[in-house]
Amino acid sequence: MDYRSDLYIDGAWRAGGEGRTFPVLDPAEGTELAAFAAATEADCLAAVEAAAAAFEGWAATPPRERGELLRRAFDLLTAEREVLAEIIVRENGKAFPDALAEAVYATEFFRWFSEESVRVGGDFRLSPSGDKRIVVTHQPIGVSLLVTPWNFPAAMATRKLAPALAAGCTTVLKPARETPLTAAYVVDVLERAGAPRGVVNLVTPVPTGPAVAAMVAHPAVRKLSFTGSTEVGRVLLHAAADTVVSTSMELGGNAPFVVLEGADVDAAVDGAIVAKMRNGGAACTAANRFYVHASLYEEFAAKLTAAMDAFVLGPGTDRASTLGALVSPEERDKVASLVDTAVTEGAKVRLGGDTAPSGAGAFYPATVLVDVAHGSTINRTEIFGPVAALVPFDTVDDAVRMANDTIYGLIGYVFGREDEALRVALRLDAGMVAVNRGVASDPAAPFGGTKQSGLGREGSSEGILEFLEEKYVAVAP
């Protein structure tokens, strides 16, 4: 397969300033897929300058035209989604069905924000004293730096690029080092859709931290939209403080999955499989802590174990695989070590577990742990792998207390009788709750977390507001 493996700056694909590259690896095979251009700090600042030069023109481009560009990108990616999925499989390691689902989800952000670009509102009214008209309008915030993770390399990029471009902002995309090929493909699609020079830029700095900090400090950068770990999010919030850059932060999660007394166990297991195993568990929304009412605990554990056992572990290039590789041997070893620690802390392995050192492929089997203690290491840590950790509970108050006992607040899942499940959903301290379903994400819904899971929302009509600033003009009545 041929991959684009260059930087994209000011409308041109090019090597990094010093001619350095870094390897992009296939985590399922351990082989090198491409040597990607390593951006220098100067390359990154050139990208910011290009975005700054293009800003005035793009901000003045009629919303309809901006929307039409996004619509063309949607059409192109829809036609090419199998190609995109293949690239995701290769560099991320996930199974093909997961990659294809991501490609579809990623593409939908272009369609959604092509429609939102023409729906930005404002206000025009008389002040209470009658001395003036209050005119409120929205203006694009400016050059936007978009930093994305490796776990959804396409969707996390389009979830930022689409609203930024719809709002009239110009962009610099900085994808994760593990998955730049997918980002380059998305940028290539935007170029083919007609993005003017400088409106979209792609940089992959090595090392990352100093170059991102230099871009954040550039006076033209007015927005930092980040998706990644809470640890890196904190670092970037500090960096953004120096120049008071507006930030949107989509950070880590530690999602509770609550199965209430009286829940339909089969439906809960179906939901658990989606909530846990989508993306092989490498999702910020992944169910991480299963709290199951004692009356259903054994039945749920047995049925979940059977359903987890049905996953076919193997490379995503084999279309029969339903559970692919983790993104790197390091990620795989992190998951293995979490499971080992859980066992030393008293958990029992019902399925899977793997203590062998990782070989060429970063594979970890579907695993079910029971008798996990609330507050144990695995219960407090974002697992990011195919491991379900089950904790029993006796009362609804206990379940809610344990579910909320975390620094994270991205998403929760509740299964139970509808009225009670809804009441519990309202008590969960999370930005999103899925009731009697295993997935909540939708481009038309506001995605984001409370507490240390983030700031701001992506998708929906709110996603575009992250890239707009309110402007109030006082005029004579």
Q: Say if CB 303 and CB 269 are below 8 A apart.
A: yes
Residue nearest to ligand NAD (CB): 228
CB of 142 to ligand NAD, least distance (A): 19
- The whole-angstrom separation of Cα 257 and Cα 383 is 14
Closest CB to ligand NAD among 236 and 323?
236
- Binding-site ranges for ligand NAD (CB under 6 A): 147-152, 156, 174-177, 208-209, 212, 227-229, 232, 235-236, 250-253, 284, 382, 410, 449, 454
Structure tokens at 151: 């776990």
Closest CB to ligand NAD among 190 and 203?
203
CB of 247 to ligand NAD, least distance (A): 12
- The whole-angstrom separation of Cα 163 and Cα 169 is 9
Measure the CA angle with vertex 227, ends 223 and 230; round to 5°: 110
Annotated catalytic residue 469? no
Report long-range pairs for 423-426 (Cβ below 8 Å, ≥24 apart). Answer: 424/258, 424/260, 424/396, 424/399, 424/400
Structure tokens at 300: 């749920």
Closest by Cα among 128, 123, 133 to 477: 133
Show the DSSP H helices in 61-197 as ranges.
Answer: 63-79, 81-92, 96-116, 155-167, 180-193
Residue 212 burial by CB count (10 A; 0-12/13-18/19+): exposed, middle or buried?
Answer: buried
Residue 108 corresponds to which amino acid?
Answer: E
CB of 348 to ligand NAD, least distance (A): 27
Closest CB to ligand NAD among 66 and 278?
278
Closest CB to ligand NAD among 176 and 269?
176
CB of 204 to ligand NAD, least distance (A): 9
Q: What is the dihedral of CA 241, 242, 246, 248, to 10 degrees?
A: -50
3-state helix, strand, coil split of the chain in percent (to 5) is 40, 25, 35
CB of 54 to ligand NAD, least distance (A): 23
| HEC readout, 1-53 | CCCCCCEEECCEEECCCCCCEEEEEECCCCEEEEEEECECHHHHHHHHHHHHH
CB of 25 to ligand NAD, least distance (A): 15
Return phi, psi of residue 325, to 5°.
-90, 160
Q: Say if CB 91 and CB 24 are below 8 A apart.
A: yes
Closest CB to ligand NAD among 131 and 231?
231
Q: Say if CB 191 and CB 13 are below 8 A apart.
A: no
Strand partners, 166: none
CB of 334 to ligand NAD, least distance (A): 10
- The whole-angstrom separation of Cα 95 and Cα 377 is 28
Measure the CA angle with vertex 448, ends 429 and 231; round to 5°: 90
Q: Say if CB 367 and CB 353 are below 8 A apart.
A: yes
CB of 211 to ligand NAD, least distance (A): 8
Closest CB to ligand NAD among 238 and 471?
238
| Catalytic, out of 91, 250, 382, 466 | 250
Closest CB to ligand NAD among 186 and 307?
186
- The whole-angstrom separation of Cα 60 and Cα 147 is 25
Closest CB to ligand NAD among 4 and 303?
4
Show the DSSP H helices in 229-387 as ranges.
Answer: 230-242, 265-277, 297-309, 329-344, 377-380
CB of 106 to ligand NAD, least distance (A): 12
Give me the active site residues, please.
250
